[in-house]
Structure 1
Amino acid sequence: MKFIIAAMALATSSLALAYHCPNEMKAIDAKLATNPTLSAADMGKVKDLRAEGEKLHKAGKHDESLKALDSAKKLLGI
């Protein structure tokens, strides 16, 4: 019984992370649409991290996706 509860909790948390990734990508996209003042190098990093986050999300690697997206958000100041 404990195993079933633990498995259900894990599955639920994975789904929560899966739905969180698109919101993070939307926040990054919204900030990029405002043409933030960043160096060309930082803008390239943000775009690369955003793309990597989406790729990892699509691959089901939500923890890794969120790490990449969080890094992009930090560079953008959000």
Structure 2
Amino acid sequence: MRKSIPILAALVLCGASGLALAHNCPNEMKDIDAKLKTKPALSSDDAAKVAKLRADGEAYHKAGKHDESMKSLLEAKKILGI
């Protein structure tokens, strides 16, 4: 019984971390929007890609597909250098 408590605690913490990331999508979108307001020097191709990734991230978030949302949003942040 005592050995199962740490395993159970680890599983609970892993599940909680997944939920925390799932609800971080709006914060990632806010970071992208804030950076875009500063008019970063981007090529037209990069600017279009960031806009698409940002829109895709929001659409995935609204559809409940948080892993896909985070992937899109983090890729956009990478292009923006944040």
Unaligned 5+ residue runs, structure 1? none
Question: What TM-score does the superposition give when structure 2 sets the normalisation length?
Answer: 0.79
Which protein has the bigger helix share?
1
**1:21-74 superposed Cα distances (whole Å, 9 cap, x missing partner):** 000000000000000000011000000000000000011110110000010001
Question: Aligned partners of 1:73 and 1:10: how far apart in 2?
Answer: 25
Match of 2:42 in 1: 38
Query: What is the CA RMSD across the aligned residues, in angstroms?
Result: 1.6
Identity of aligned pairs, percent? 61
| 1:76 maps to 2:80 | yes
Unaligned 5+ residue runs, structure 2? none
Match of 1:66 in 2: 70
Question: What TM-score does the superposition give when structure 1 sets the normalisation length?
Answer: 0.82
Equivalent residues of 1:14, 1:62 under 8 A apart? no
